[in-house]
Amino acid sequence: MSADFAQVIATFSRRMRLRLADGDEVDARIKGKRLRPVCGDRVSAERIPNEDDWLITAIADRDNELTRPNLRGGVEVLAANVDQLVVVAAPEPVPDWFIVDRYVAAAEQMRVSATIVFNKTDLGTSAECAAELADYRRTGYPVLECSAASRTGLDELGAALAGHTALIVGQSGVGKSSLINVLMGGEEQRTAAISSKSGEGRHTTVNSVMLDLPDGGRVIDSPGVRDYAPAYASAAAVAAGFREIEGASSDCRFANCRHLQEPGCAVKAGVDSGAISARRYESYRRLLRLTEKLENQL
């Protein structure tokens, strides 16, 4: 028996949970050492004779993938085939807006939508946070404010997720898993329990899991995303991650303007006039420096 285009819905190191085309869920191993399926992958799989396990034999071409550089100079894929990044921040831990900007830039690179979620509003929203959120809205990103603890803003979040396959990202501790838990109404634990039972303990460390939300839509929670730094192909690609910078750049004097010290730079002019956030511009410069450092190492 074989199934074309089963989908990986959870990963536990080299063990996977698959949803088959008919909706059945099975455990699977991976054929060979070379294949590296991730959550969201569509895969070919076949049942291993005389076993409950299935074997993943091939990975279908990905629509997109979220990647980060690994320590060995390669690239690690965190999830695939999503159509939305949900970038979560909160009053606690203290927001690192550079991380938010990197995820938003990653969404632009993947050509998927980015939605910003400010969780833990029960702790209050500082003027500084409110100003940053207003700036993302001005740039054109939807911003939802909610609290998993006091159950506010969750209908809006559920509606934003409906009809999408989203990857939820953000600093550790902002409440990603809590938000999903509340949206699932406790269903998440049930999923985890099934997996650990069938794997007899081998499944206890879940890397990533894709969950079906009650209001429709699916969301991938991946602990690996927290210290994410994207790998860019080129410095030019960095500007494409900042839509207001990309938008202004057509008015720069030089077509290859990097928006640093060049004369006639429309981006710098935009920062000076306040049309472009100076903080977002600083994120752009930081990401550009990181990318150029990486390029020089190659």
Residue whose beta carbon is closest to Mg ion: 177
252 contributes a contact to Zn ion by CB under 5 A: yes
271 contributes a contact to Zn ion by CB under 5 A: no
> Which of the ranges 93-101, 156-164, 198-206, 255-263 carries the binding residues for Zn ion, by CB under 5 A?
255-263
CB 283 to ligand GDP: min, Å: 21
Return the number of the residue (20 or 146) whose C-beta is nearest ligand GDP: 146
Return the number of the residue (42 or 176) whose C-beta is nearest ligand GDP: 176
150-179: which residues touch Mg ion (CB under 5 A)? Answer: 176-177
207 contributes a contact to Mg ion by CB under 5 A: no
Return the number of the residue (176 or 218) whose C-beta is nearest ligand GDP: 176
Question: Which residues make up the interface to ligand GDP (CB under 6 A)?
Answer: 119-120, 122-123, 147-149, 172-178
Find the binder of Zn ion among 225, 257, 271, 288 (CB under 5 A): 257
Q: Binding-site residue total for Mg ion (CB under 5 A)?
A: 2
Q: CB–CB of 144/156 below 8 Å?
A: yes
**What is the contact surface with Mg ion in residues (CB under 5 A)?**
176-177
